[in-house]
């Protein structure tokens, strides 16, 4: 979520204890919040949950000298997420390795999990925390459930989870400044995933102001992601070339007002009442429409099906709507699936959209792994690489 090349619009994490959930009951936690490695047979491993994020608002507030855009955006974590398992590499391995199952990630050779492990190792060595041999090679497995290049921050979340898992495997810590620098070096949205569940993000993503959780039962979210991946950098470029909202002040006005409300504690009901404002509070919406033919018509059709305003997360193309309960969001997901079958929703992109019902996660209701059968879309086995 930031500038031109390599920009991103949010992340999710589990990099540290906050929001990250060890899927392994045997994984303990030390005082730093980093899980300790657990023994699986003879092998040590640690499991981290890497939640998706949603941008409740996204205002572009200016250009920066480094080519990135400055943003004002409220991020929340979701209960939908990837699962990352990290263990020590097999004897004889010559490099860190990664195997991915679930959704396909096109750039397997460049996976942020491997980049994060490598960068964490360098940071550990640079910090004098240990010699290289104290940060041994790792083997990672990623169960990918967050749609890729969809504005849900999956790659950033995986990177944050990988940092946390690697440090825990090596039993080392970095100080807050080193950790923040490491996260920011991997992507603009990665720092968010090292923070609590709800935050105001400014700068290109490096300024993270934690906000209180939404009070009461957290709102549920319907996610609909057309299968037309949008590169964040391309969307910012379209924005820079003039694809702006009709009212250029609106997103910032809504975002600033929401930040004020959230600082003093906002209820689920109050957030739900602002659905129409939130739908208009994304400065990248028109840029996404400009790049993805059919997306505007899809949004209009979706709004008719769900009978409520539909918002865009980050640079898109993921669309979302809020519901009071998960049951209501699940019902809406069923309606949307039927609308796809009935042709009430136009098919755009390369296939049927990813459709899921989930919830906003908070400190008191941390993200929990979601059953695979709740997630629609093409999720088949994929083996990858190192
Ligand atoms: P953001 O909104 O943070 O820009 P996004 O949600 O739109 O991100 P991601 O799913 O994070 O998009 O993917 C962005 C790019 O990162 C894709 O081109 C993808 O190929 C690459 N990538 C590298 N590693 C990963 C990963 N572990 N998961 C997802 N994408 C990855």
Segments making up each domain of the chain, as ranges = 5-209, 213-385
Paired tokens of 149: 């290049």
The kind and range of the H/E element at 340 are helix 326-342
Mutate to test the pocket of ligand 1, among 76, 85, 105 (most ligand atoms within 8 A of CB): 105
Output the CATH code of domain 5-209: 3.30.230.10
Query: Is any ligand 1 atom within 6 A of the Cβ of residue 2?
Result: no
Say if CB 209 and CB 200 are below 8 A apart. yes
Ligand 1 atom 25: residue of nearest CA: 155
Ligand 1 centre distance from Cα of residue 35 (Å): 25
Residue 79 tokens read as 């209960």
Question: Residue 56 above 90 pLDDT?
Answer: yes
Catalytic residue among 16, 53, 96, 158: 53
Q: How confident is the model at residue 374 (pLDDT cuts 50, 70, 90)?
A: very low
End-to-end alpha-carbon separation of the chain, Å?
27
Cα separation, 351 vs 371, in Å, equals 22
Nearest to 57 by CA among 319, 360, 311, 231: 311
Mean pLDDT (whole number) for 109-118: 92
Are residues 141 and 46 in contact, defined by beta-carbon separation less than 8 angstroms? Answer: no
Q: Which residue's CA lies nearest to atom 8 of ligand 1?
A: 153
Choice between 1 and 49, residue whose per-residue pLDDT is larger: 49
pLDDT, tens digit, 9 for 90 and up, residues 212-270: 999 988 999 999 999 998 999 999 999 988 778 767 789 999 999 999 999 999 999 99
Catalytic, 304? Answer no
Residue of the nearest CA to atom 30 in ligand 1?
A: 155
| DSSP-derived pairing of the beta strands 97-102 and 138-144 | parallel
Q: What is the mean pLDDT of residues 171-191?
A: 93
53 included as an active-site residue: yes
Q: Does the pLDDT value for residue 356 go beyond 60?
A: yes
User: Which ligand 1 atom sits closest to the C-alpha of 159?
Assistant: 27
Task: Tell me which CATH homologous superfamily contains domain 213-385.
Answer: GHMP kinase, C-terminal domain (3.30.70.890)
Q: Do domains 5-209 and 213-385 have the same CATH topology?
A: no
The four Cα atoms 265, 208, 11, 177 give a dihedral, to 10 degrees, of -140
Coil, helix or strand at residue 87:
strand
Q: What three-state secondary structure class fits 191?
A: helix
Comparing 5-9, 72-76, 109-113, 192-196, the range with the smallest average pLDDT is 5-9
More confidently predicted of 206 and 78: 78
Q: What is the pLDDT of residue 134?
A: 73
Q: 121-170 pLDDT, tens per residue?
A: 999 988 876 566 678 999 999 999 999 999 999 999 999 999 999 999 99
What's the pTM?
0.85
């Amino acid at each position: 979520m930031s500038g031109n090349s390599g920009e991103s619009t949010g992340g999710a994490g589990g990099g540290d204890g906050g929001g990250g959930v060890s899927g392994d009951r045997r994984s303990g936690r030390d005082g730093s919040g980093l899980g300790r490695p657990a023994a699986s047979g003879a092998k040590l491993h640690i499991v981290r949950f890497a939640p998706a994020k949603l941008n409740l608002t996204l205002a572009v507030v200016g250009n920066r000298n480094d080519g990135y855009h400055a943003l004002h955006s409220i991020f929340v974590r979701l209960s939908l997420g990837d699962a990352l398992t990290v263990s020590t590499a097999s004897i004889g391995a010559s490099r860190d390795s990664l195997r991915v199952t679930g959704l396909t990630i096109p750039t397997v050779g460049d996976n942020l999990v491997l980049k994060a492990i490598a960068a964490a190792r360098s940071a550990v060595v640079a910090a004098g925390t240990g010699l290289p041999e104290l940060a041994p090679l790792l083997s990672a497995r990623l169960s990918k459930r967050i749609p890729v290049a969809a504005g849900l921050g999956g790659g950033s979340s995986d990177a944050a989870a990988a940092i946390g898992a690697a440090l825990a495997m090596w039993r080392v810590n970095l100080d807050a400044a080193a950790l923040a620098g490491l996260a920011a070096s991997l992507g603009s949205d990665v720092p968010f995933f090292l923070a609590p569940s709800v935050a105001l993000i400014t700068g290109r993503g490096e300024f993270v102001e934690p906000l209180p959780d939404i009070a009461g039962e957290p709102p549920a979210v319907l996610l609909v992601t057309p299968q037309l991946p949008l590169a964040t950098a391309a969307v910012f470029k379209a924005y820079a070339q003039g694809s702006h909202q009709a009212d250029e002040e609106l997103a910032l006005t809504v975002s600033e007002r929401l930040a004020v409300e959230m600082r003093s504690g906002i209820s689920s009901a109050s957030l739900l009442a602002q659905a129409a404002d939130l739908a208009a509070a994304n400065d990248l919406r028109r840029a996404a429409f400009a790049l993805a033919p059919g997306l505007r018509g899809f949004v209009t059709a979706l709004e008719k099906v769900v009978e409520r305003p539909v918002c865009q997360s980050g640079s898109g193309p993921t669309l979302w709507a809020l519901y009071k309960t998960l049951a209501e969001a699940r019902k809406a997901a069923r309606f949307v699936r039927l609308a796809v079958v009935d042709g009430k929703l136009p098919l755009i992109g390369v296939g049927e959209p990813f459709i899921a019902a989930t919830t906003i996660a908070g400190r008191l209701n941390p993200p929990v792994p979601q059953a695979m059968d709740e997630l629609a879309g093409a999720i088949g086995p994929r083996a990858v690489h190192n």
